[in-house]
Structure 1
Amino acid sequence: IDEIAALHAVTRRRGGLLLVDEIYQGLTYGIDSATALAHPALNAADDVFVVNSFSKYFGMTGWRLGWLVAPTPLVREIEKLAQHFFISPSSPAQHAALAAFEPATLEILEARRTEFAARRNVLLPALQEIGFTIATEPQGAFYIYADISKLADDSEALARRMIEEAGVAATPGLDFGHHLPRRHLRIAYTTRESRLLEAVERISALRA
């Protein structure tokens, strides 16, 4: 949160607005997942927006449901945009969102978060063992961003070969920024451990 507050200081000096994306809030491992609004300076600011969604932590991808926390003076203007773009979420989606906060649902979601951490702990060393370089252990979400330079020259070509020859899907780094994108793949651990290990075996077989 202190890092976000520091970013806010920069945007404020430059006359900008700060938009904080918290869509993966709650899907963290071993670190605090508090909202940026827990910081007093950010909570009181008139130039900070926080966006969140039911898609990730709550597993409601496809319901197209989320929320925006905005400075009070700008709420009316944002309401105008909402009225022109989508009016409001559907009634079933709103009822589903309420159910997501039920204690029994939250218990299931926490168990799922624990399962994601376990999958990460299995997949990360398995990928390293077959030649992927992983500079940082993921502390949130359900992806590993892996350096493929010991295995191939181009992540897009490797991703294509993996899907065509091994039946394993991964996303080239070209979709995630400009820092050495052709050296990286993003690999998701959104399936059970046995399938993750099978995927590693299939990738390893490509090197044989």
Structure 2
Amino acid sequence: AAQLEAEGHRVVHFEVGEPDFNTAEPIVEAGRRALLDGHTKYTHALGTEALREALSKDYRERLGVAIPAERIVVTAGASGGLLLLSALLIDSGDGLLITDPGYPCNAAFPRIVGGAAQLVALRAEAGYLPQVDDLAGAWRPNTAGLLLASPANPTGAVMDGARLAEVAEFVHGAGGFFILDEIYQGLTYGPPPTAGTGLQADAGLIVLNSFSKYFGMTGWRLGWVVVPEALVAPIERLAQNLFISPSSVAQQAALAAFSPEAMAIHEVRRQHFDARRRQLLGGLEALGFRAAAPADGAFYLYMDVSSSGMDSYDFCWRLINEFQVAATPGIDFGEREAHRFVRFAYTTDDESIGLGLERIGRALEAWDSVGGQA
């Protein structure tokens, strides 16, 4: 895609897993003030008291769950948080159960600490939601725990509280830990709209979250984890050695993310994402593609493109090279029926979505005229 753009082509980007909106101005201004006010030194390894308290308040007032600030650890992005949790909870030879399909980088974290990624296949016919029977079938004697995302990448699937509680009961009964990845928390569109958290179903969960997606702060590299009190001291020791502290400037800026002005901006942007979701989903379905899941969260559609007569990798390769539309083939997210599915991200403006749909339509017509083969 970058090469085509360098050659002067206009590329429609359905492959980018990053909000196209810039960070909200109240957050940017808070970061600017932080620099001028000298917030350029190390902070506490667990994060500033002010930000941990702000997160606790947000859980209480917006999400309706009481999470003490003492259980919240601010991290260098969600990736930094997952590295800390992996180093703390996974021993050499242990397995971490992750989903197929799922975020591909997750498999690296258990390997870094001497463990292994173990896959549990999610089924399209179940809306790519985890089934306890499937988890039980994938659980091994050396499985230490489960990492599960809701809303999920690449499917956009969202678990309700009842299913989450059922999964948590199974994992705890198997003697494992349960990390719930909520980095897309807040970006949900189901009826009625909800910004819920799994902590509402099980306040004892380990939760991984980030300021990147809902708050639009990808480049600030700031996240947090919610852990049981018994894990706070050991995670603090690890954080001191691995990261020293999260970014002081980013933490000061993030305090403004919870201001009424910023929260109003976040909500407007959530509504924009929902409108784009409906536009892209409707357009792709009109072209004969089928959504693999209700896609009620995040900013992705995981679509079955087998009606094109092509493998999803070939579909994406030809789409970018012949029609300058970039999307991500299923093989990037796992092996489970990956040849059938493509992830489309609606992280671009309405006009670009319309143009992308028009180009995909032309592509299908052109390929159909030659039997779907180059």
Q: Same fold judged by TM-score > 0.5? A: yes
Which whole-Å CA distance do the structure 1 matches of 2:175 and 2:301 have between them?
35
CA contact (8 A) 2:277 2:299 kept: yes
In the alignment, which residue of structure 1 is the partner of 2:275?
118
Per the TM alignment, residue 163 of structure 1 is displaced from its structure 2 partner at its CA by: 1.2
1:111 alignment partner AA: V
Structure 1 residue aligned with 2:258, among 101, 108, 118?
101
User: 1:203 aligned to 2:360?
Assistant: yes
Structure 2 residue aligned with 1:173, among 307, 330, 333?
330
CA contact (8 A) 2:181 2:208 kept: yes
Which whole-Å CA distance do the structure 2 matches of 1:175 and 1:63 have between them?
25
Secondary structure of the residue aligned to 1:105 is helix
> RMSD of aligned C-alpha atoms?
1.3
In the alignment, which residue of structure 1 is the partner of 2:343?
186
Can you give the 5+ residue segments of structure 2 that lack an aligned partner in the other structure?
1-160, 367-374
1:14 alignment partner AA: A
For 1:21-170, list aligned pairs within 5 A. Answer: 21-30=181-190, 31-39=193-201, 42-43=202-203, 45=204, 48-170=205-327
Per the TM alignment, residue 85 of structure 1 is displaced from its structure 2 partner at its CA by: 1.9
Per the TM alignment, residue 80 of structure 1 is displaced from its structure 2 partner at its CA by: 1.5
* Superimposed CA distance per residue, residues 134-168 of structure 1 (whole angstroms, 9 cap, x where no aligned partner): 24331011111100100032111111111111111
* Superimposed CA distance per residue, residues 85-115 of structure 1 (whole angstroms, 9 cap, x where no aligned partner): 2121212101111111111011001000001
* Superimposed CA distance per residue, residues 42-92 of structure 1 (whole angstroms, 9 cap, x where no aligned partner): 21x3xx311100011001112110000001011111112211221212121
Point out the more displaced range, 151-160 or 101-110: 151-160
CA contact (8 A) 2:222 2:247 kept: no
Which whole-Å CA distance do the structure 1 matches of 2:349 and 2:253 have between them?
25
Which whole-Å CA distance do the structure 2 matches of 1:73 and 1:107 have between them?
36
Which whole-Å CA distance do the structure 1 matches of 2:287 and 2:198 have between them?
38
Per the TM alignment, residue 177 of structure 1 is displaced from its structure 2 partner at its CA by: 2.7
Per the TM alignment, residue 35 of structure 1 is displaced from its structure 2 partner at its CA by: 1.5
Per the TM alignment, residue 17 of structure 1 is displaced from its structure 2 partner at its CA by: 0.4
Which whole-Å CA distance do the structure 2 matches of 1:106 and 1:77 have between them?
33
1:27 alignment partner AA: L
Which whole-Å CA distance do the structure 2 matches of 1:161 and 1:85 have between them?
43
Which whole-Å CA distance do the structure 2 matches of 1:152 and 1:200 have between them?
18
TM-score by length of 1: 0.93
Secondary structure of the residue aligned to 1:62 is helix
1:186 alignment partner AA: R
Note closer, same or farther for the CA distance 1:82–1:152 as it changes in structure 2 (3 Å cut).
Answer: farther
Secondary structure of the residue aligned to 1:75 is helix
1:35 alignment partner AA: T
User: 1:8 aligned to 2:168?
Assistant: yes
In the alignment, which residue of structure 1 is the partner of 2:177?
17
Per the TM alignment, residue 32 of structure 1 is displaced from its structure 2 partner at its CA by: 3.1
CA contact (8 A) 2:207 2:225 kept: yes
Can you give the 5+ residue segments of structure 1 that lack an aligned partner in the other structure?
none
Q: Percent identity?
A: 50
The alignment of Structure 1 onto Structure 2 pairs a total of residues equal to: 203
The runs of at least 4 aligned residues of structure 1 exceeding 4 Å deviation read none
Which whole-Å CA distance do the structure 2 matches of 1:38 and 1:147 have between them?
33
TM-score by length of 2: 0.53
